[in-house]
Structure 1
Amino acid sequence: MDKFFIISNTEKEQTSETAMSIQHYLEKRGKYCGIYKATGNLPIRSRYTDARKVPKDTQCILVLGGDGTIIQASRDLLNLQIPMVGINLGTLGYLAEVGAQSIEPLLEKLIQDEYYVEERMMIQGELKREGKSIYRDVALNDIVLGRGGPLGVIKFELCVNGECLNHYKADGMIVATPTGSTAYNLSAGGPILAPNSSMFVLTPICTHSLSSRSIVLPDDSVIELIYQGENKRRAKAVVSYDADTSCWIENGDTIRITCSEKKAKLIRISKVSFLETLRKKMATQ
């Protein structure tokens, strides 16, 4: 690799210094390394990184921060399809490849092309109202239908490939990717999926039922959540994407969720398996 670009979480301590240090190291090796500088003038308000500022010939995006920063970068830059690697400046995460103490060995691996690219499934969700598209976004972890207020459960219908599967009274529904199976889905009692697999896992949140369970579906499924807030006393509802962007929904609205045609591309150099990372993560909790 010869051309790099850095995106960082400016809220993390020493992020700017780390970015400058990486840039200096790569330039000493005769490589190009740009650093993203936010201006606040984004074409899409819900985005943190302006994809127009990333050079088209970039071969690797270095993401400084934690899993949240990597998730944001994956969403913002999905259409560029440039491989990215996470450098963790926080606590242990599932997505970041190395910590701050291992940056130089990582850079050497990248320069020598000693890496592989792991593709991660992403999903897209479209909010439809009376047949019209109201909002659309993508997610690396999950799309969640949830309560928008503090009181009461919400009522909704789950349809798969045009067929009604179940009706729910609950706090909501998590539609997660394999990557997201270790996030909110796990906290809600859902199963863990291998991160490089391609499938959906649907986990209801605090259902008013004795028999509600998670559901695993193939990646070619068309999932629809139909909100049924038929009276003013029922709790309001909201749909959120990776707990980042969100939109209020109204009675009769449908959230249509499918697998995205494009996938997140994460660079890997480590021989550490997902199961080992998972074991370490569980041991710290």
Structure 2
Amino acid sequence: MEFRRLAFVAAEVPQARRALNALVKAYGQAAPEDADVVVALGGDGLMLQTLHRFMSSGKAIYGMNRGSVGFLMNDYSEKRLPERIHAAELTTVRPLRMTATDQAGHEHKAMAFNEVSLLRQTHQSAALKISIDDHVRLEELKCDGIILATPAGSTAYNLSAHGPILPINSPLLALTPISPFRPRRWRGAIIPHQARVTIESLEAEKRPVAAVADQFEVRNISKVEIAEDRKRSARLLFDPGHSLAERVLAEQFRF
């Protein structure tokens, strides 16, 4: 496939804007709807925004790191960009679909390529009930929160909470508690990607909980339902030898 028409998007930080100007001058700027490839300039936050924006458009996304964190990005260079993109390896990622019901009974829907997180809002710990495919697995978890991470997101917030790293092509999700207090020894679970996860907030008024899907937040939730969205996907391009699968594998050997 030829990648002749490039559309550049950039984070609102000086180094990303400078890169945008230099690359547009060198390679031109196609309209996103006409582009063969979208080139994202920034960090992982900008990449997540780009994934959401072009979800299921069929357009490949090639990121270059001009931010603080760039796990989902390639190294930045202005040279031979079309050749790099042509040689890049393709990875397809699928998002989680979150439906959060707040205490007023309103539903809020959002997608997450990295993770869905439930987080306590006050000094009170969260009290959560966890069901998998309508089967209650944990009657009550007292904690600061919990994360359901995709393989792509397993090296992000999930890893910081001591969750497992999942191979990028594995049909799995990581369910990881944040500072569990009761049961203290529960360290989470690895579940099939097709599982439906329901998390209820117990004592919701006394122990308010927020739900976050990537960069979308809902506060004062009573229940969250999460499942993989099998109808939507995004296509990521990585330089040879630096694929997302390789990065996930290498991350397991870092100290």
TM-score, structure 1 length as denominator? 0.79
1:101-123 superposed Cα distances (whole Å, 9 cap, x missing partner): x232333233xx32231112311
Q: How does 1:91-102 map to 2 (within 5 A)?
A: 91=68, 93-99=70-76, 102=77
1:215–1:279 Cα change, 3 Å: closer
Distance in 2 of aligned mates of 1:61 and 1:97: 13
Unaligned runs of 5+ in 2: none
Q: 2:212: which partner in 1?
A: 240
1:206 is displaced (CA, Å) by 1.1
Residue number among 144, 167, 190 corresponding to 1:194 in the alignment:
167
Which one of the candidate residues 22, 29, 34 is aligned to 2:30? 34
CA RMSD of aligned residues (A): 2.3
Q: 1:92 deviation in Å?
A: 5.5
Change (3 A) 1:133 1:270: farther
Given the two structures, how large is their TM-score scaled by the length of structure 2?
A: 0.88
What is the alpha-carbon distance in structure 2 between the residues aligned to residue 236 and residue 133 of structure 1?
Answer: 16
Q: Deviations over 1:75-119 (max 9, x none)?
A: 2221423110111013462110122xx232333233xx3223111
Q: Does residue 203 of structure 1 match 2:182?
A: no
Identity between Structure 1 and Structure 2 (%): 21
Q: Is the 8 A contact 2:10 2:40 kept in 1?
A: yes
Q: Distance in 1 between matches of 2:121 and 2:19?
A: 39
CA contact (8 A) 2:87 2:240 kept: no
Q: Take 1:202 and 1:136, find their aligned partners in 2: how far apart are those partners? A: 20
Deviation at 1:241, TM superposition (A): 1.4
Q: Find out whether 1:264 has 2:248 as its counterpart.
A: no
- Aligned residue identity for 1:137: A
Show the counterpart of 1:38: none
Specify the code of the residue in structure 1 equivalent to 2:24.
Answer: Q
Of 180, 184, 194, 2:157 maps to 184
Query: How does 1:121-160 map onto structure 2 within 5 Å?
Result: 121-128=94-101, 134-149=107-122, 151-160=123-132
Unaligned runs of 5+ in 1: 28-32, 36-53
Question: How many pairs are equivalent?
Answer: 247
2:81 to 89, 106, 112: 106
